[in-house]
Amino acid sequence: MAEQATEVQKARERLLENRKWVDANIEDIQKQYKDKWLLVRDKKIIESGAVPAEVKAKIEKKFADETLLIYVPNIIAKPM
């Protein structure tokens, strides 16, 4: 019998899904958010800004484990 995923494992899976979404949409994201820090949750950009600490401070505690904080450079057109 397969074991149930823990809440931490589920949160990590959602985090990875958000990263995959960013990678798949990086060209469109760069047009609007280049040189910005983003918070991504549920495959949506929920906050953006120039200072990572300020953006990170906006993460809701209950979603901290599944919210992706990522920088969008202006020079990479495709994920590595």
The pTM is what?
Answer: 0.81
| Cα distance between residue 77 and residue 67, in whole Å | 23
Which value, in Å, is the radius of gyration of the alpha carbons in the chain?
14
Mean pLDDT of the chain: 88
The continuous run of DSSP H or E covering 44 comes out as strand 44-49
Q: Which residues contact 15 (CB under 8 A, 6 or more apart)?
A: 65, 66, 67, 68
* Tens of pLDDT, residues 4-56: 889 889 989 999 999 999 999 998 999 999 999 999 999 999 999 999 999 99
| Cα distance between residue 75 and residue 34, in whole Å | 9
